[in-house]
Amino acid sequence: MKKLHLLLAIICLAGSANAQIADSTKRKVELQGAVNFRDLGGYTTKDGHHVKWGKVYRSADMSKLTDQDLAVLAERKIAYDVDLRGTQESKQAPDRLNPNTDYILCPAGSDNVGNMLQSLKGQTRGDSVMDAYYSNTTFLADRYKPFFGKLLAMPEDKSLVFHCTAGKDRTGIGAALLLYSLGVPYETILKDYEASNYYRAAENEKMAKQMVQFMKINEGVAKDVVAVKKEYLDATFTAIKKQYGSIDNYLKSQIGLTDKDITALKAKFLD
């Protein structure tokens, strides 16, 4: 009897694991020329609604999309592209898009990314650099206000992708603010944020090695910088709350979202 109970427990655990894998399979969009491209749908809100599948996607660099990739984007009705990279980043690796895609560049604060990488030389702790980056709220409103503007203006039958270079920091903060505005619990927001470590595992390892080899950056620092950690996103939310009182107040006073806008976002992106 004990063996039977043990077997049943193993089957239940396997079923739970398969459910997670199935969700990951549904969330990840398989593309040849981009990584960390995934659907923000499916997350449960505090009041029991769910973020709609197939409406908003997040990604890393989109400059190497193949013709087959573009066909996937067209099939998913991705007609809006919000690029969170800096001016130089976007010039050096312009997005490859389908004709008539509504493209917008939101470079606020991103032209300093190169300086941040240079500052890593001689450092022994990458966490301190990342905490400083995530705690800086100076450019957030200018970066994400256009993002929310596109979400509000997007027709019901279209979808949108937003991205940066790695699809983890600037994109991660944007995803967090959007999911928060829709009423998704912070614990779930963190899981979506931390999933970049899973979707970028191979790229992170490769990038860390390159930083050590070519930039002479401490290995531990390199690993900290290419990863995402709970503490990083916590730093952004803590800084916003300290400066503006609450995330809700920030979305209203800085991003410019009215109660009507929040209602519209929920009507458009929740089932």
| Whole-number Å distance between alpha carbons of 219 and 124 | 9
Higher pLDDT among residues 154 and 13, named by residue: 154
For residue range 144-179, list pLDDT tens digits in order: 999 999 999 999 999 999 999 999 999 999 999 999
User: What is the span of the domain harbouring residue 58?
Assistant: 35-269
Amino acid identity, position 77: K
Report helix, strand or coil for 259: helix
Of 26-40, 113-127, 177-191, which range is least confident? 113-127
For residue range 43-97, list pLDDT tens digits in order: 999 999 999 999 999 999 999 999 999 999 999 999 999 999 999 999 999 999 9
pLDDT at residue number 115: 65
In a domain, 2, yes or no: no
Number of domains in the chain: 1
In a domain, 28, yes or no: no
Residues 198-218, mean pLDDT to the nearest whole number: 92
Amino acid identity, position 205: E
In a domain, 165, yes or no: yes
Smallest CA-to-CA distance from 140 within 96, 172, 182, 185 is with 172
In a domain, 104, yes or no: yes
Helix axes 170-181, 230-244, angle to 10 degrees: 60
Higher pLDDT among residues 141 and 119, named by residue: 141
Structure tokens at 240: 């916003």
pLDDT interval class at 214 (50, 70, 90)? confident
pLDDT interval class at 114 (50, 70, 90)? low
| Whole-number Å distance between alpha carbons of 244 and 91 | 34
Phi, psi of 28 (to 5 degrees): -75, 135
Percent of the chain with pLDDT strictly greater than 70: 88
**Over 90: is that where the pLDDT of 5 sits?**
no
In a domain, 231, yes or no: yes
pTM of the model: 0.90
Higher pLDDT among residues 51 and 5, named by residue: 51
Mean per-residue pLDDT over the chain, rounded? 90
Is 107:209 a contact under the CB 8 Å cutoff? no
In a domain, 156, yes or no: yes
In a domain, 19, yes or no: no
pLDDT at residue number 23: 66
CATH of residue 157? 3.90.190.10
For residue range 219-249, list pLDDT tens digits in order: 998 999 999 999 999 999 999 999 999 999 9
In a domain, 129, yes or no: yes
